[in-house]
A = this chain, B = another copy of it.
Amino acid sequence: MKKYVIGMDLGGSSCKLGIFTDQGELLASWKVATKKREDSSAILGNIADSLKVQLRKMGIDHEEVLGAGMGIPGVVRKNGNSCTCVNLGWIDKNVKTEMERYLNLPVAILNDANAAALGELWAGSGKGVSSLVLFTLGTGVGGGIILNGEPVSGAFGAGGEVGHLTVSSEEKNVCGCGRYGCLEQYVSATGIVHTMKKRIQSDKGKGKGFCEKEYTAKDVFDAARDKDPTALEVVEFTGEMLGKAMANISSIVDPELYLIGGGVSEAGDILLNSVTKYFYQHVLSMSSDARVRLASLGNEAGIYGAARSVLTNG
């Protein structure tokens, strides 16, 4: 009998779904639009219906499916029996039991960033290691930590909230979390643009071409590749903030591998080289064999990891 696992990655406007073999091969993936906030309790039912249709289409029997995993954009407590997703209007919702009823399968619920980290470990840049820390650099900064092959979800669901490490005591702007000086304020796409704007304001005459128009983090990296001195400084600063944060994480959980993912990571080597330089400068010598790489699964990391969470360790 063949064995399959299902991975789901729930977002604010859609849910990605994937059907995998238990060896990590992705056989099919698609998206289901999620209804608006007021219909939030119907979201899970729609997803389940779509899954059943797809399984039937592929000729997969219910008995061949080991279970389903779902990454959700919020706080998961009590193994998924209490989920809070502000964007979906869920407060303390029992997603696990509800989804198990719809699917008649064992369901594992985990935070979406932890799912992405687990996915990279199973089938991406983290294949072959048993511990890693993933930074997802997007509009904000998400993160996931895997130790001994399992995500660190934390006693209160804050495990792997590496975007909210306090890295500066001098920040005047407030972070989305209500605190000041979070890593997210510097190494997210938004943070990188903000750093660039500040540098241009303080360095009159530099950063030419940036003063007049709106720009993105990608523009900053492109300008750095073209040797724009202000943009080069911003890339250095971004690498320093992230590299130093990684060095501190090594003194806590000491992973084998760091992965950089999310839209910002498309900058590639120019970012990776800067981060790596500061990481090795600052990490405790005993952890200097840790490696830093780019993540490889992109937006699919979440469904991979959700599917992987169904399987027991090993």
Interface residues on chain A, number (Cβ under 8 Å): 41
- Tell me if A128 counts as interface (CB < 8 A to partner B): no
Shortest CB–CB separation between residue A127 and chain B, in angstroms? Answer: 16
- Tell me if A119 counts as interface (CB < 8 A to partner B): no
Q: Quick one: closest B residue to A163, CB to CB?
A: B251
- Tell me if A27 counts as interface (CB < 8 A to partner B): no
Q: Quick one: closest B residue to A288, CB to CB?
A: B156
Q: Which of B155, B251, B252, B282 contacts A256 (CB 8 A)?
A: B155
Residues in B neighbouring A129, C-beta threshold 8 A: 155
CB pair B161 A284 closer than 8 Å: yes
Q: Quick one: closest B residue to A168, CB to CB?
A: B169
CB pair B157 A254 closer than 8 Å: yes
Q: Which of B247, B252, B286 contacts A252 (CB 8 A)?
A: B252
- Tell me if A272 counts as interface (CB < 8 A to partner B): no
Shortest CB–CB separation between residue A285 and chain B, in angstroms? Answer: 7
* Given A166-B244, A247-B166: A154 in contact with B253 (beta carbons within 8 A): yes
Residues in B neighbouring A247, C-beta threshold 8 A: 166
How many copies altogether? 2
CB pair B252 A284 closer than 8 Å: no
Give the residues from 94 to 132 in chain A that come closer than 8 angstroms, CB to CB, to chain B: 129-131
* Given A75-B286, A147-B147, A282-B179: A254 in contact with B162 (beta carbons within 8 A): no
- Tell me if A25 counts as interface (CB < 8 A to partner B): no
Contact with B along A200-213 (1 / 0, CB 8 A): 00000000000000
* Given A155-B290, A166-B244, A290-B155: A252 in contact with B160 (beta carbons within 8 A): yes
- Tell me if A23 counts as interface (CB < 8 A to partner B): no
* Given A147-B152, A152-B147: A251 in contact with B284 (beta carbons within 8 A): no
In angstroms, Cα B126 to Cα A132, docked, is: 27
Contact with B along A220-256 (1 / 0, CB 8 A): 0000000000000000000000001001111111111
- Tell me if A159 counts as interface (CB < 8 A to partner B): yes
In angstroms, Cα B164 to Cα A285, docked, is: 11
